[in-house]
Chains A and B, each alone.
Chain A
Amino acid sequence: MKRRGIVQKLGFAAMASCMAANILFLGAILFFIASKGLSSISWEFITQAPRDAMTAGGVAPAIVGTFYLTLGAILFALPLGVACAVYLTEYSPKGWIVNVLRISVNNLAGVPSVVFGLFGLTVFVKYMGFGVSILSGSLTLGILALPVIISASQEALMAVPQSIREASLALGATQWETIRKVVLPAALPGILTGVILSVGRVAGETAPILFTAAAFYLKGYPDSVFSEVMALPYHIYALMTEGTHPEEQTRIAYASSLLLLGLVLSVSMLAIWLRQRQRKAYHA
């Protein structure tokens, strides 16, 4: 009894220290970025365009660009991904074809993001003629987000109890009505989790927009979906690899990183808030 008690305590201690290590890494990253970037963040930094060869001014166009690209990617990937997930879990005949499709979707998640970038360049920028633009970048990022959204939606749909599907069908609802009015609403919190995850991923990606959307420096703001844009991750990358004032640029890069983190975090908070509200409505 005593021995088992000790083993249990050791086990919990080991798990607690793993958790602590996690928090430590997260905290260290946040602290590191904040300590280097916080001093450069000001109202001007958030609302102005860069000046003096990237050594002064703000990053407002990059914030706006990242916002557009992320929004575009989610607008494209969410309906497509949810539709795929609904087909895979609700409609498709069970069997090896579905398994192959599922494996393919999971493999899509493992494709390196720079490959998505090249794909976007070939297909959206060149073949479809969208040029280097918000549209091309959003579509490329959308494809990147698809597997995350599909898997999360599938999980969420499969977690909806079969009994409430039966309840709906037994009332004379068709399968489509059952999915639209019962299954999807019940799965929504889980689907939103997928959206949260993919927003984080999409907003922070550099490689997919490198050839499809991003510009190093633009004077104004984009005026259509066919405009090139600045974007925070690419801006950070460019600041650290190009230009002639490394010290000033590094300072701005850290401040931009902090902003990017803040942006992703606030979008996630919004999604979490939406999810909680949904959960409250659906669970006692």
Chain B
Amino acid sequence: MHDTLVDYDKQMGLENFHPSLVKGPVGVNINSLGEADVFGLEPKIISRGVNFYYGSKRALNNINISFAPRRVTAIIGPSGCGKSTFIRLLNRMHELVPGTRLEGEILLDGLDIISPACDAADLRKRVGMVFQKPNPFPKTIFENIAYGLEVNGVTDRQVIEATVVDSLKKAALWGEVKDRLKDSALGLSGGQQQRLCIARALAVSPEVILFDEPCASLDPISTGKIEELILQLKKDYTIIIVTHNMQQAARVSDRTAFFLMGDLIEEGRTDNIFKAPRDRRTEDYITGRFG
């Protein structure tokens, strides 16, 4: 575990960041406005004063956090801490659950995505999601990827075919499925299905990809492949990953946020969070004292 952290900067390519881009004391990065100096980059997503309720039960308290573009942010915390609830706000999937209420502001490139003026379907095209359990459609591999294009109005067969191939390549699945595109996606292994779901999300060219515990149901080898993929994808996409697995957070993320009982306890560079957490509760959690 500690070896991992020593090599962490090299693995993550963090040593390439210009030091002047990191403003303020490292690890202390949320200013009073909630506009984090996330590696000195203009935040892709900003959450300001977000409260969220299931009925009368409050699930998130005053969440202020910013997400850097083309970086991986991991959200960690024990079960029921609100981490999945939080990322489902970012593409408004919470609206599928009746009786919820959201307060505060969530901005995507400065656009208020919570306002009724913002169309949820348009938002979800920009903010893709990969779920906890692989959920391919009961259709062929090809149709699974083509689906997102079709619902977004792409009719040109050649464009669709090219995008399917391209997405499967980006998701490191092409070699394994190129001869069976017409087969049912349900015949793939769990890990392959999850990469198919990633390819499906990539096909609609999102800007942000939310991963909600993407490896929760996968074996270590499949998990390794997904993690590799996430590191590849961050070149082009803003990635937010919810995970139970702290080693995973350490391996794939540039920044880490720790949630506990609906509160954001601490957010910062992943190495700092794991090597020198500021909050006692973060330390307790990452050292395995609870959770």
> Which residues of A are found within 8 Å of B131, using beta-carbon distances?
163, 166-167, 170
> B98 near A: Cβ within 8 Å?
yes
Residues of B within 8 A of A185 (CB): 138-139
Chain B nearest CB from A87 CB (Å) reads: 16
Binds B, one of A74-82, A102-110, A174-182: A174-182
Q: Chain A interface mostly helix, strand, loop or mixed?
A: helix
Give per-residue flags for A156-184: 1 if the beta carbon is below 8 A from chain B beta carbons, else 0: 00000101111111111110010001100
Which of A161, A171, A282 meets B151, CB within 8 Å?
Answer: A171
- Asked if B151 and A166 make an inter-chain contact with CB atoms under 8 angstroms apart, the answer reads no
Task: Indicate if the CB atoms of B138 and A172 lie closer than 8 Å.
Answer: no
When chains A and B are docked, how far (Å) is the Cα of A281 from the Cα of B183?
Answer: 9
Report A279 CB to chain B, min CB distance, Å.
9
Is B240 on the interface with A (CB-CB < 8 A)? no
Q: How long is the Cα–Cα vector from A174 to B147 in the complex, in angstroms?
A: 12
Q: Once bound together, how far apart are the Cα atoms of A173 and B120, in whole Å?
A: 9
Q: Report whether A282 and B96 are in contact in the complex, using a CB–CB cutoff of 8 Å.
A: no
State whether B137 touches A172 (Cβ < 8 A). no
Q: Which residues of B line the A interface, CB within 8 A?
A: 91, 93, 96, 98, 120-122, 124-125, 128-129, 131, 133, 135-139, 147-148, 150-152, 183-184, 186-187, 197, 200-201, 204
Q: Is there an interface contact between A172 and B98, defined as CB atoms closer than 8 Å?
A: no
User: Complex formed: what's the CA distance from A185 to B133 in Å?
Assistant: 21
A181 to B201, CA, bound (A): 17
Is A172 a contact partner of B139 (Cβ separation < 8 A)?
Answer: no
Task: Please state if A282 and B184 are interface contacts (CB–CB under 8 Å).
Answer: yes
Q: Which of B93, B151, B186 contacts A172 (CB 8 A)?
A: B151
- CA gap between A181 and B139 in the complex, in Å: 10
Cβ distance A156 to chain B, nearest Cβ, rounded Å:
13
Residues of A within 8 A of B151 (CB): 168, 171-174, 177, 181
Q: For A6, what are the chain B residues with a Cβ–Cβ distance below 8 Å?
A: none
Does A283 sit within 8 A of B, measured CB to CB? yes
The CA-CA distance from A165 to B147 in the complex, in Å, is 13
Bound CA span A86–B136, Å: 22
In the complex formed, the residue of A with least CB distance to B187 is A284
Question: CA A181 – CA B150 in complex, angstroms?
Answer: 10
9 cross-chain pairs, A with B, having the tightest CB-CB distances, nearest first:
A172-B125, A284-B187, A171-B148, A163-B135, A282-B138, A284-B186, A173-B151, A170-B129, A167-B135
Contact B184 A283 (CB under 8 A): yes
Residues of B contacting A177 with CB < 8 Å? 151
Tell me if B135 and A172 are in contact (CB < 8 A). no
Q: Mark A82-116, 1 if CB is under 8 A from B, else 0.
A: 00000000000110000000000000000000000
User: What are some 29 contacts across the A-B interface (CB < 8 A)?
Assistant: A94-B98, A163-B131, A163-B135, A164-B137, A165-B96, A166-B131, A167-B131, A167-B137, A168-B137, A168-B147, A168-B151, A169-B96, A169-B120, A169-B121, A169-B124, A170-B91, A170-B93, A170-B124, A171-B151, A173-B147, A174-B121, A174-B151, A181-B151, A185-B139, A282-B138, A282-B186, A283-B138, A284-B183, A284-B184
